[in-house]
Structure 1
């Protein structure tokens, strides 16, 4: 009402002359100039573009990380690179504010640790993510299945039987 003094005056006059038998008709007329917060609009557009760019970057890193992870089964240097990529993905996931995405990035890091035979660290990550997800009111099935699958990979790789793959 502070922006529309004419409207305020008309309402005040109508209320002073108010008679219960009369009908009050209020006609709203749009103002000549809209009061918009252009600075906030610019900020909102910038935030939306940043979200789009971060999401696209996340997709590229996911593709690249998956490729290095696949090679990491045979080349230890590729497993190291996949681990670094998963850390970059985790930073982006924190910035996006998506806890499920952060957890998936942690699991990608666990895969890299398994490939580098760092089984204890991988085990801790998998267990932490699994327990945290189980405590949620609505646990994400995808994350739980990922934890179970990576746990199976950990058990397979940790098995002391000789493998055909070469480790450093």
Structure 2
């Protein structure tokens, strides 16, 4: 699963430069989610949803992205006691905020 996560991260990073990579990253994240669900790993499932939310933000769907991240925070951070997942969630949250700020600046230019 970690190798797939690395692949998804690379595609997601390219999403900052091209919309086709945003779509590809979303597809990779959805495939990863199916695998994580089969494996039954709640932390991997939560991380997949985080990366889906990142792709949604890159695609301009901020409300869905923010709702997803908040849901992960409320449902998983306390129950799973994972510092790693907590840090991933905070990182995705900050990235979504940065994307949204950048979108506003581009719109105003």
The bucket for the TM-score relative to the shorter chain is 0.7 to 0.9
Alignment of 1:3-42 (within 5 A): none
TM-score (norm 1): 0.58
**In the alignment, is the contact (CA less than 8 A) between 2:77 and 2:85 conserved in 1?**
no
Q: How does 1:45-124 map to 2 (within 5 A)?
A: 58-124=1-67
Alignment length, in residue pairs? Answer: 105
In 2, the alpha carbon distance for the partners of 1:157 and 1:73 equals 9
Tell me what 1:145 maps to: 87
Bigger helix fraction: 2
Among candidates 99, 105, 108, match of residue 157 of structure 1: 99
Structure 2 stretches lacking a partner, 5+ long: none
Which segments of 5 or more consecutive residues in structure 1 lack a partner in the other structure? Answer: 1-57, 164-168
**Root mean square deviation, CA, Å:** 1.6
Q: Which has the higher contact order (CA 8 A, sep 6+)?
A: 2
- Provide TM-score, normalisation by structure 2: 0.87
Larger radius of gyration: 1
